[in-house]
Amino acid sequence: MEHIVIIGNGIAGVTAARHIRKNSDKRITIVSAETDYFFSRTALMYVYMGHMKFEHTQPYENWFWKKNRIELKNGYVNTVDHQNKKLVLADGNTIGYDKLILATGSKPNKFGWPGQDLLGVQGLYSKQDLDQLEANAPDNKVCKRAVIVGGGLIGIEMAEMLRSRKIPVTFLVRETSFWNGVLPAGESAMINEHILEHHIDLKLATNLVEILADETGRAKAVTTDKGETIECSVVGLTAGVSPNIDFLKDSGIELGRGIKVNRHLETNITDIYAIGDCAEQYEGIGQRRPIEAVWYTGRMMGETVAQTICGNKIEYKPGHWFNSAKFLDLEYQTYGWVFSERGMKENEQHFHWRDDKEKICVTVAFDKKTKQFLGINTFGIRMRHEIFDRWLTEKRDVNHVMEYLKDANFDPEFYSQYENKIVSKFNSEFGTSISLKKKSWKRIFSNA
Amino acid sequence: MKVIQNIGIAIFLIGLGVFTTLPFIGDFKLDQSSFDELIDSQGIKSEIFVSDLKSKLVNKNFSGFQPLAPLVEESIDKANTEHTKNKEWGKKVYAGSDDLATTIRKKSGYGYVPQNKGLMWFLTFGLGIIGALMFILPQVVTLGKKGIKNDHIYHQSSTNKGWIAWLVFIFLVSFYLVLYFKSEYAVNWTYLVDPISESLSGNPAGHWFVYGFMYCVVMTVMAVRMYIKYRHNMYQMVRTTSVLFFQIVFAFLIPEIMVRLQLSYSKGYDFKNAFPLDYDFFFNWNLKELIAGGGLGLFILVWGIVLTVVIVPVMVYFFGKRWYCSWVCGCGGLAETLGDPYRQHSSKSLFSWKVERWLIHGVLLFALVMTGFTLYGFFAETGTVLGIKVQSIMNTYSFLIGAIFAGVIGTGFYPIFGNRVWCRFGCPLAAYLGFVQRFKSRFRITTNGGQCISCGNCSTYCEQGIDVRAYAQKGENIVRSSCVGCGVCSAVCPRGVLKLENGPEEGRINPTEVLLGNDVDLMELVNKR
Ligand SMILES: Cc1cc2nc3c(=O)[nH]c(=O)nc-3n(C[C@H](O)[C@H](O)[C@H](O)COP(=O)(O)OP(=O)(O)OC[C@H]3O[C@@H](n4cnc5c(N)ncnc54)[C@H](O)[C@@H]3O)c2cc1C
Ligand code: SF4
């Protein structure tokens, strides 16, 4: 029986395993070093905040794996020996494979800051990081202040976590406005306000220079490029992640920033595939980046590679881009492409609406000339994935999107609706006279 | 704020302490005339019983925790043995010793508590309410910006099955045991609400009135907590208001007012309580009373049947089971208010789901078979069907399901097994609604394409123990018979994945393997297979 070995029990590896099992009878082994069972990395914050226990982050009960004949091996792979088709584990054991899937995920970036390896300095990626944070910052007596370096999604999550225990937080963000490399200015500005509302000491356009140690080798303060010294007990390094591939350096597998793969998710070595955070496309697909370190793409690559392994060779061909996040209390969803002013394409034009009372806003991107709808960012209003996916496929124009905006609303029942305000601003801005259509189940589920 | 909250807790605990002490204290002395009245009102014809009990009770002092029921029991036994021997069936005493003991106490209490009803009300209910509100209201500020506020639920003893939770558990279980089985100890509590009961129905309060009143008070106070906690979520606000309204008006006020008006049908009736949750609706005695109850009685009889046979399923078809379970029902009402802090304790394991299906359908079957027996007995005018005493089936059900399951376990176990133990594992009406919801309804929880990140918030906070994530992470809608539509999964989801909605039946159940966002051809290939 063909033996499929997967390194990494994250969303990518586990999705691949599940789908291979569904489509075949092959022997499947997952080797992973972090935890015995798959858990949801995206939920780590909720464990620290006391919303959930760690066991709740595990999407499958422990019997699931045996029942589905997916063998789990807790161990760290030191070497991939593709000539002999075997893995050598840190404990000296070896595992032979017929096909190998690398799904090793990411690790937090460290940019060589002085003091980055001191006690009390940590990233937030793994279960071990969570445990460490629990030890480093159990409450605001042990941790008098935390400094978080890097204004991305993980950074703001870490800030929220620490604030839940009333720990004062200073948030160093390199950009002049939060996440403005990704978000348009209006949205980024709204989040700046929201961060401050949560009593987080946001320092924009500020870089870390050095982390200072006390006599026991623990972090005691940081200095910034603004000449400030900020005393603290914990430093969170959240300046992005990069593929976790160090152990593959001399394996003969082609590496760039990540593991180089073609559209079939194959590496340069036969029978070795790479998926999830660790995979790097030779060229970004469409407007996507070559490395996509998000949950959904890991899952999609897992779904795809399983087909190939089970004899139905197909390309990784993701559909329309979508993503979501939550900034403290603000939910964010995006469908299609809305670029920030920095990344904006020549032909891209934005319509931005923000409510005058609530922290709710929407940005719609469309083509200047053709008016084709390109994408939407929404804050504080949930929207239907299916509808936007359809509109993008059908290449609808922005007027159509405005006219049928109610179909896309996904907020819980009885919520205030903002479509009227949105469309009337659109009308006055662009001199159109679009009148909103009532929500129609028929349209919503027309090709469901 | 913290200070106000702490003072609130202290005041609440004083109120609770006084309340808890009441069953242990008080003085009781029955005089001759009350005794005669009592015997009269109970229609007791046994001289043996009367003289025996009289020698034990009349003009004697009893205090606090000294039980009366065993004394009464003794007298009943003595009298009944004698009457059975002499074949004097008409003289046998059929009244229960616990009920009699309770009535005796109520008639014979004297001293501080019955003489200071208002003050004692304040020292128990009053302090409880004030204290609880002092704890709850500051949350407007302490919870910060509006949004989901589940911080530290798993760090706190009260909500993480710590010692506080176990104390609450012991308190609730004991409270229900007293209420159902040792009601003579609840007599001091009845004095507190006598004035309220008298102003409503004209009668002094019994222990079920205490329960009903307390139910409303607890729900109201905890509804305030819901309003604050979910102030960003209109669905929760509206739903909480609805469930509170139905409890106070339908379950509490209307039945009392019906009694006051001395209508042809002289008992109170809860118009929203549908069979088979209202399991004694078709009991012999109830049918007789309804039929004897003139126009109103007949109306109730017809209404009760139409409610179960037509209104309930039609509403479930359009709105899902939620319209009843989390918008109207009293059991659901308590679960959604008092029980909200414990919702995360419902087990999500597959094993629990299996247990759930066996139990709840078992209870439904039990209720239906029992009703079949009682109806047959009613029409055939017999007390025995298929050689089984109908009365004994009814007693078993009332004891096991009505009292132990719905009351003691259903509510007592909130802090340990979550707030919907009864609704999930026991309620026969829920089982019935569930069938309709699963097989013929427009209701579903829609999963928003591929947006789920498998975080587990939805599953954790599902009070019905549904592993919501198992569906959401596959992009599948959630169509489950047990879902009561509380809307909390949707509220806690950090990615906006879940929406409760009523839409076309077609495509409601949508098994998927490959989620939206991936290659359309692959989706087509895998999902259509
Ligand atoms: C705090 C946090 C929040 C996030 N929130 C979101 C979000 O909201 N939305 C979103 O889209 N994405 C989010 N992400 C990103 C998302 O979690 C990742 O993209 C995703 O988990 C990557 O999955 P993966 O399977 O590729 O790798 P991983 O989940 O990283 O799994 C790889 C596993 O392989 C193991 N491994 C690596 N090397 C070896 C070896 N040599 N031997 C043995 N085992 C090895 C690792 O220990 C790890 O357990 C978040 C990430 C973090 C850290
Ligand atoms: S809460 Fe939302 S994102 Fe999390 S598992 Fe449930 S549906 Fe998915």
Residue B476 lies in a domain: yes
pLDDT in tens, A283-325: 999 999 999 999 999 999 999 999 999 999 999 999 999 999 9
Looking at residue A373, its amino acid is F
Residue B127 lies in a domain: no
Query: Residue for token digits 């001199």?
Result: A431
Residues of A with Cβ-Cβ distance to B442 under 8 angstroms: none
- State which ligand 2 atom lies nearest to the alpha carbon of B456: 5
CA-proximal residue: ligand 2, atom 1 (nearest): B493
- Whether residues B500 and A299 touch (CB distance < 8 A) is answered with no
| Domain boundary pick from B110, B143, B158 | B110
Residue B90 lies in a domain: yes
Residue B340 lies in a domain: no
**Ligand 1 within 6 A of CB of A243:** no
User: Could you say which DSSP state residue B232 is in?
Assistant: T
**Ligand 1 within 6 A of CB of A14:** no
**Ligand 1 within 6 A of CB of A247:** yes
Structure-block tokens of residue B190: 């009845």
3-class state of residue B154 by DSSP: coil
Query: CA–CA separation, A259 vs A264, rounded Å?
Result: 13
- State which ligand 1 atom lies nearest to the alpha carbon of A45: 1
Query: CA–CA separation, B259 vs B135, rounded Å?
Result: 37
**Ligand 1 within 6 A of CB of A41:** yes
Q: Where are the beta strands (DSSP E) in A347-425?
A: 348-354, 361-367, 373-379
Cβ-contact A119, A216 below 8 angstroms = yes
The yes-or-no verdict on residue B262 having pLDDT over 80 is no
| Domain boundary pick from B60, B94, B110 | B110
- Whether residues B154 and A42 touch (CB distance < 8 A) is answered with no
Region B250-270: mean pLDDT is 83
User: Could you say which DSSP state residue B478 is in?
Assistant: B
- Whether residues B233 and A329 touch (CB distance < 8 A) is answered with no
- Whether residues B145 and A329 touch (CB distance < 8 A) is answered with yes
Region A129-151: mean pLDDT is 97
Any idea which ligand is nearest the CA of A8? Answer: 1
Any idea which ligand is nearest the CA of A17? Answer: 1
Cβ-contact B37, B72 below 8 angstroms = no
Q: Cβ neighbours of residue A328 under 8 Å, at least 6 residues apart?
A: A156, A160, A194, A195, A198, B145, B147
3-class state of residue A89 by DSSP: strand
DSSP string for A273-307: EE-GGGEEESS-STTS-SS--SHHHHHHHHHHHHH
Residues shown for chain A: 448
Q: Which residues pair with A211 in a beta bridge?
A: A222
Phi, psi of B10 (to 5 degrees): -60, -50
- What is the pLDDT confidence band of residue B44, given thresholds at 50, 70 and 90? confident
Asked whether this chain's domains A121-239 and A322-445 adopt the same fold, the reply is no
Nearest Cα to Cα of residue A239 among A132, A116, A133: A116
Residues shown for chain B: 529
Radius of gyration of chain A (CA): 24
Q: Cβ neighbours of residue B135 under 8 Å, at least 6 residues apart?
A: B5, B8, B9, B12
Nearest Cα to Cα of residue A42 among A65, A12, A11: A11
Q: Where are the domains of chain A?
A: 3-107+242-309, 121-239, 322-445
Q: What pLDDT was estimated at residue B506?
A: 87
Region B286-311: mean pLDDT is 88
Residue A318, preceding bond cis, omega within 30 degrees? no
- What is the pLDDT confidence band of residue B31, given thresholds at 50, 70 and 90? confident
The yes-or-no verdict on residue B65 having pLDDT over 80 is no
Residue B461 lies in a domain: yes
Q: What pLDDT was estimated at residue B512?
A: 85
Query: CA–CA separation, B468 vs B483, rounded Å?
Result: 10
Nearest Cα to Cα of residue B121 among B42, B190, B205, B168: B190
Structure-block tokens of residue A221: 């303060």
Indicate the range of A67-81, A232-246, A338-352, A434-448 predicted with least confidence.
Answer: A434-448
**pLDDT averaged over every residue in chain A:** 96
Residue B483 lies in a domain: yes
CA-proximal residue: ligand 1, atom 15 (nearest): A294
Output the CA A294–ligand 1 centroid distance in Å: 8
User: Could you say which DSSP state residue A311 is in?
Assistant: T
- Whether residues B517 and A389 touch (CB distance < 8 A) is answered with yes
User: Could you say which DSSP state residue A239 is in?
Assistant: S
Query: Among B343, B344, B453, B490, which is best to mutate for testing ligand 2, by the most ligand atoms less than 8 A from CB?
Result: B453
Looking at domain A121-239, its CATH architecture is 3-Layer(bba) Sandwich (3.50)
Residues of A with Cβ-Cβ distance to B155 under 8 angstroms: 50
**Ligand 2 within 6 A of CB of B498:** yes
**Ligand 2 within 6 A of CB of B468:** yes
**pLDDT averaged over every residue in chain B:** 91
- Look at the alpha carbons of B483, B484, B488, B491 in this order and tell me if their dihedral is positive or negative: positive
Residue B496 lies in a domain: yes
3-class state of residue A215 by DSSP: coil
| Number of CB atoms found within 10 A of residue B29's CB | 16
The yes-or-no verdict on residue B200 having pLDDT over 50 is yes
**Ligand 1 within 6 A of CB of A154:** yes
Query: CA–CA separation, A12 vs A305, rounded Å?
Result: 10
Residue B62 lies in a domain: yes
The yes-or-no verdict on residue B529 having pLDDT over 70 is no
Q: What pLDDT was estimated at residue A447?
A: 57
Residues of B with Cβ-Cβ distance to A441 under 8 angstroms: 503-504
- Number of A/B CB contacts below 8 angstroms equals 179
Structure-block tokens of residue B37: 């009245």
Q: What pLDDT was estimated at residue B196?
A: 94
pLDDT in tens, A188-198: 999 999 999 99
| Number of CB atoms found within 10 A of residue B63's CB | 12
Structure-block tokens of residue A345: 């394409």
Closest CB to B457: pick one of A46, A296, A414: A46
pLDDT in tens, A202-243: 999 999 999 999 999 999 999 999 999 999 999 999 999 999
- What is the pLDDT confidence band of residue B137, given thresholds at 50, 70 and 90? very high
Query: Residue for token digits 């003893």?
Result: B157
Tell me the residue range of the domain where B45 lies: 27-110
Q: What pLDDT was estimated at residue B522?
A: 85
3-class state of residue B388 by DSSP: strand
Nearest Cα to Cα of residue A19 among A325, A320, A265: A265
User: Is this complex scored with an ipTM above 0.85?
Assistant: yes
Query: CA–CA separation, B204 vs B191, rounded Å?
Result: 8
pLDDT in tens, A351-362: 999 999 999 999
Region B362-386: mean pLDDT is 87
| Domain boundary pick from B90, B110, B130 | B110
Number of H helices, E strands in chain B: 29, 7
Output the CA B469–ligand 2 centroid distance in Å: 6
The topology under which CATH files domain A322-445 is: Enolase-like; domain 1 (3.30.390)
**Ligand 1 within 6 A of CB of A221:** no
Q: Residue B84: how many CA atoms within 13 Å on its side-chain side?
A: 8
Nearest Cα to Cα of residue A163 among B448, B66, B143: B143
Query: CA–CA separation, A15 vs A68, rounded Å?
Result: 13
Q: How many angstroms separate the most distant Cα atoms in chain B?
A: 90
Region B298-322: mean pLDDT is 93
Shortest CA gap B183–chain A (Å):
40
In chain B, % of residues over pLDDT 90? 58
The yes-or-no verdict on residue B114 having pLDDT over 50 is yes
- CB burial of B143-168 (b: ≥16 within 10 Å; e: otherwise) equals ebebbbbbbebbeeebbbbeeebeeb
- State which ligand 1 atom lies nearest to the alpha carbon of A11: 25
Total domain count, chain B: 2
Region B182-195: mean pLDDT is 91
Sheet of B61-63: strands edge to edge?
Answer: B61-63, B27-29, B109-110
Residues of A with Cβ-Cβ distance to B154 under 8 angstroms: 50-53
Shortest CA gap A223–chain B (Å):
31
pLDDT in tens, B218-241: 999 999 999 999 999 999 999 999
- Whether residues B457 and A318 touch (CB distance < 8 A) is answered with no
Q: What pLDDT was estimated at residue B150?
A: 95
Residues of B with Cβ-Cβ distance to A11 under 8 angstroms: 454
Select from 2.60.40.420, 3.40.50.620, 3.50.50.60, 3.40.50.970 the CATH code of A3-107+242-309.
Answer: 3.50.50.60
Q: What pLDDT was estimated at residue A448?
A: 43
Q: Of the ranges B41-55, B195-209, B372-386, which is most confident? A: B195-209
pLDDT in tens, B394-439: 888 888 998 889 889 999 999 999 999 999 999 999 999 999 999 9
3-class state of residue A363 by DSSP: strand
Question: Quick one: closest CA in A to B454, which residue?
Answer: A40
Phi, psi of B205 (to 5 degrees): -80, 145
Q: Cβ neighbours of residue A325 under 8 Å, at least 6 residues apart?
A: A153, A332, B495
CATH number of the domain to which B513 belongs: 3.30.70.20
